[in-house]
Amino acid sequence: MPPPGRRRPARPQQYRRVRGGVVAVSELHIDWTACDGRGMCAELLPELVATDPWGYPLIADKHVPQHLEEHARRAARLCPRLAISLRAVSPPAPAANPHRTQWTPAGTPAPRG
């Protein structure tokens, strides 16, 4: 457990199960038309958000680790312009491999393997 006032270091991104067995992660989204560079998000979530010299947010990785999700929700809720939000995103689907009895779009049978 980290000392009081300290957060855990970032861990590799972990997908979590949500309702219906669908796997999802959260990612930060910034509405650039609403943001006016006050820097509140960087103060509330320094692990993921930095600021440029004018106070606008810089996000290196928009994926939010599970252990920082509550802090990210708080940063989104307290943004004075409501310019930052969290979005649930499903990971990309695996590449489809045609069954050996299926035909490929080119009209030739799929390779047997």
67 domain residue, yes or no: yes
14 domain residue, yes or no: no
What pTM was computed for the model? Answer: 0.61
pLDDT tens by residue, 42-72: 999 999 999 999 999 999 888 998 899 999 9
Alpha helices in 33-112 (DSSP H): 40-44, 69-78
47 domain residue, yes or no: yes
pLDDT tens by residue, 5-37: 555 544 444 455 544 554 558 899 999 999 999
Q: Give mean pLDDT, residues 90-108.
A: 62
60 domain residue, yes or no: yes
Please count the structural domains in the chain.
1
Residue 51: domain span? 30-89
DSSP-assigned letter for residue 74: H
CATH number at residue 52: 3.30.70.20
Question: Which residues are bridge partners to 89 per DSSP?
Answer: 25
Question: Which residues are bridge partners to 24 per DSSP?
Answer: 16
